[in-house]
Structure formats: structure tokens, C-alpha cells
Amino acid sequence: MTFSRRHLMFLVAALPLPTLSSLAAGPCCGPIMPNGERLRALLDASGIEHLWLPGTRVDWVTGIESGKDATASARHHTHCSAFAGALSMRLGVYLLRPPEHGETLLANGQFHWLESPAAAAEGWQPLVDLTAVQTHANQGDMVVAAALNPNSALPGHIAIVRPSEIDADTLQKRGPLITQAGATNYRSAHLATGMRSHRGAWEPGGTGTLRFYAHAVDWSKRAA
């Protein structure tokens, strides 16, 4: 059976076109590469649900409790920056950490350091697009989301972006999935959830005050 050109054009026109929602439903930022799977496994094995817990004093490298925080500000004693520093060390990546900076207000210190030429010299690069943020994480790079507290006497926040096959719509509305220590520790949560106590840090589309940075990881040399 043969079809005329006009008939073929009619058949093509009759095919349903993909909707914006269907286009957004698939993974936005490429597959999770083998190194991305290694990164995700490392984050899953970090013990974040029972280490680096808020309201306690911890060994910043291991997250193991070294005593309850008996101060009046115990509920504000969290360890997002210690966790980020410890995980970066495991990945062979330098991020500002003790002893170069004390644990107090370390997240603010990390934010300022990541903006500096010293961080660029260490291999960190800023990312301004959420698609790039997720793509780097899926490739196995260390990607952090850092928020500065406008009150210099109060802590900021920092979280590690997880490799994920997130769709574009969710990425823009709720942000990438992250692993973090904080007022609540999350093995996997959207950035909108992790940053909810820091007003203005996360806004849909990544238009808030937080900043993203990525660093390549040499997985061939990563310590077990």
C-alpha cells in the first residue's frame, strides 16, 4: 500500500504531541553515571540518621557523639558544616574545616570561603543553573548548596546535593535532593525542605540567596 505525500502529512499531524508535563516527567539532567552511583552510596552509608545529631557535641570527622550540649542554645547546636567538611575530606576534596576554622559558625565561613579565590584555586566552581547542579552531582562531582545567614551571629547552612533522576518540574519547584546534617538530619530530602528554616535561601527556580558549587572527585584515589 502506498500513501500520497498529503496523506502522510495528515497521519503525522494526527499523532499526539508531547505535552510540557510529559516532557518534564522524565529525568532532567542525564543518567546517574557510575561515579554518581558511588557518591550516592557514600552518602547513604554516611550514617547521617544517627550521627552529627543536633543538640549534641560530636567529633566533627566521624559525627560520633562526644557529649550532650547542655547550653541554653542546645537546640541550635547543629553540624551541617562539620558533616560537609567530613564528607569532602573522605572524597579527597578540600572544603574549609577545622582546624583552619572553628566549628562555631563554620557554615558562614564555608560560604565566604567558597566565594574566594582560594576556593577556585582548590578546584571549586560556582554553578548558577539547577540543571548544571544536578548534572554535576549525577556525574559524581561533589556539589554543595551553601546559605549565608544575614545575621553574622547566627549559623548559615550547607548541604550536599545527591545524584538523582529527578524531573525538571520538581527540580525547579523543590530543588535537588540533598543529604545534610542540621536541625533535622536528612539522608534524602528536597532542598526546599532542608533550607526551610533559612528564610529566602531557597526559592523556586533556585532564585534564593543560597549558592551552589561543584568540585570534581578523583574516584580512583578516594579512600575507602
> pTM of the predicted model, to two decimals?
0.85
Residue type at 159 in one-letter notation:
A
Mean pLDDT on 23-41: 87
Phi and psi based region of residue 214 (left: phi greater than 0; alpha: psi -120 to 50; beta: remaining): beta
Q: At what angle do helices 80-90 and 34-44 cross, to 10 degrees?
A: 130
Place of cell 559524581: 140
Q: Where do runs of H (alpha helix) occur along the chain?
A: 5-14, 20-25, 34-44, 80-90, 106-114, 117-122, 130-138, 168-174, 191-194
Residue 201 predicted with pLDDT over 60:
yes
Q: Of 137, 187, 146, 149, which Cα lies nearest the Cα of 29?
A: 137
Strands 125-127 and 142-147: unpaired
Q: What percent of the chain has pLDDT over 70?
A: 84
How do residues 35-68 score in pLDDT, each as one tens digit? 999 999 999 999 999 999 999 999 999 999 987 6
Fold of 29-215: endopeptidase fold (from Nostoc punctiforme) (3.90.1720)
Using CA atoms, how far residue 158 sits from 4, 17, 177, 209, in Å, is 62, 41, 13, 12
